[in-house]
Homo-oligomer: A and B are copies of this chain.
Amino acid sequence: MIEASVCTIGDEILIGQVVDTNSAHIARALGETGIRVRRMLSIGDQREQIRDSLLNELRMSDVVITTGGLGPTKDDITKAVLAEISGSKTYVENAEQLAIVYRILHGRGLEVLPNNKAQALVPDRCEVIPNPLGTAPVMVFRFTEQEVGHPAALYALPGVPYEAVGILPKVMDDIRTHFELSDIHHRNLMVYGLAESALSELIAPWEDALPKDIHLAYLPNPLTGIRLRLSIYGGRKEEELQRIEEQITRLKAILGNRIYSYQDDSLEETLGRMLKAAGKTLSAAESCTGGEISHLITSVAGSSAYYLGSVTSYAISVKETVLGVPPEIIEQYGVVSSEVAAAMAEGVRRLTGSDYSVATTGLAGPGGDEKNPVGTVWIAVSGPEGTRTVSKCYKNDRKRNIERFAAAALDFLRLYLIETKML
């Protein structure tokens, strides 16, 4: 199997100023291309360290992907080191990248200075993958068996995360062209509402019967649930995808509505698609989630087509006067109760005139008591088919509890929409 090293370059990583997210993105892209990541390395902007580390990785791995160190300032020396280790004699101007540099700077109303132009200069022994999102192109250096003990390629990507992630598909295309990889055929599905161990137990009979060449991977995430990935290496695309599809049909029979997406959608994107398709509107009333549900919903571009708005009723007075929750209900059942969650959901639906609404009331922490320990939440959903409530309890810190409450509320709303046959 082809192996890769991922190397991020920059003092800002070593002093902990930034969290390296590029490596995880690159690792995922490599994995989906059928390449194993051997290891990841982060090093500083020092000439010897960059040279020695990159040569060492090239000797061990078939593919080395670097990010960073390509900026126009003096401390960015990766390009010079790459010129050296590739035996380049001079720098040449890449016309395509130069045009991008002009376009980007003129677009910002800036003059193109000599050090901007220099971004399009690359060592003569490299090939260029133009980077439309930034001024530094991707440089591809190919090494022979004589140089590093086996044929290898080094891809130097810019360090800015959105540029690095944006150019990854082209880098993977280049790898596919130059290395012999089996094709990978795969499908993902997203599951919410089951712990990894519970899911694994539930689908064990199905998993045991899975043909040997169909690989299953669990990628759990406490907020979006578990991504299940089914993949086959090699074979004909249509036939193999058909075989994966058959397995998904069986899995559907077991998991039903627990599967919320067959793409990499989030819960809020899935909900958005459902509401948009049905031409229905939504509102929210939040207490313990404090705005997080509304934030998630509106993080989806185009959410104004179905989302009317929300009330965060942190104070009891706002629950009563804005949402119209009857004071006697609060007194009788307490703020953290099924009854108050229901009244909040009904109140915001009445207030905004939305078709559906979702509400939360709970304790994210600190604090709590025996009746309502920290991590308790009541969720309500209201719509034309009535109001439903559910209670959950998580055992995390305040920040994480808020995120979990919000995700659980979105999922409860999703199930309501399905079960009441909105679609």
Binding site for B on A (CB under 8 A): 13-21, 23-31, 37-44, 49, 53, 108, 162, 219, 281, 283-284, 286, 289-299, 301, 303-304, 307-315, 317-318, 321-322, 351-353, 365-366, 395, 397-399, 402
Residue from B13, B23, B30, B294 in contact with A291 in the complex, judged by beta carbons closer than 8 Å: B294
Complex Cα gap A25–B297 (Å): 30
The interface residues of chain B lying within 8 Å CB-to-CB of A290 are: 294-295, 297-299, 303
Complex Cα gap A14–B38 (Å): 7
- In the complex, besides A162-B397, A298-B402, A311-B312, 18 extra interface pairs with C-beta distance below 8 angstroms are A16-B28, A19-B21, A19-B23, A20-B20, A39-B42, A40-B41, A289-B295, A291-B294, A291-B296, A294-B295, A294-B312, A308-B317, A309-B313, A309-B314, A309-B315, A309-B322, A310-B314, A322-B322
With A16-B26, A292-B291, A299-B290 already in contact, the answer to whether A39 and B31 are too (CB < 8 A) is no
Complex Cα gap A293–B41 (Å): 37
Are the CB atoms of A309 and B318 closer together than 8 Å?
yes
Complex Cα gap A260–B308 (Å): 35
The interface residues of chain B lying within 8 Å CB-to-CB of A313 are: 309
Across the two chains, which residue of chain B brings its CB closest to A162? B397
The interface residues of chain B lying within 8 Å CB-to-CB of A314 are: 298, 303-304, 307-310
The interface residues of chain B lying within 8 Å CB-to-CB of A42 are: 23, 39-41
The interface residues of chain B lying within 8 Å CB-to-CB of A17 are: 24, 28, 219
Complex Cα gap A138–B20 (Å): 24
Across the two chains, which residue of chain B brings its CB closest to A308? B315
With A41-B40, A317-B352, A318-B352 already in contact, the answer to whether A24 and B28 are too (CB < 8 A) is no
Across the two chains, which residue of chain B brings its CB closest to A53? B39
Min CB gap A276→B, angstroms:
14
What secondary structure prevails in chain A residues at the interface with B? Answer: mixed
With A39-B41, A297-B290, A309-B311 already in contact, the answer to whether A24 and B20 are too (CB < 8 A) is yes
Are the CB atoms of A27 and B14 closer together than 8 Å?
yes
Min CB gap A228→B, angstroms:
13
The interface residues of chain B lying within 8 Å CB-to-CB of A41 are: 39-42
The interface residues of chain B lying within 8 Å CB-to-CB of A43 are: 39-40
Residue from B21, B26, B301 in contact with A366 in the complex, judged by beta carbons closer than 8 Å: B301
With A308-B315, A313-B309 already in contact, the answer to whether A299 and B402 are too (CB < 8 A) is yes
Min CB gap A84→B, angstroms:
20
A37, A39, A298 — most chain B CB neighbours (10 Å): A298
Are the CB atoms of B14 and A37 closer together than 8 Å?
yes
Question: 10 closest pairs, A vs B, by CB?
Answer: A290-B298, A291-B294, A16-B27, A16-B28, A291-B291, A291-B295, A40-B42, A309-B318, A308-B315, A310-B312
Complex Cα gap A304–B288 (Å): 10
Are the CB atoms of B298 and A312 closer together than 8 Å?
yes
Are the CB atoms of B311 and A311 closer together than 8 Å?
yes
Complex Cα gap A298–B219 (Å): 30
A313, A314, A315 — most chain B CB neighbours (10 Å): A314
Are the CB atoms of B14 and A18 closer together than 8 Å?
no
The interface residues of chain B lying within 8 Å CB-to-CB of A162 are: 397
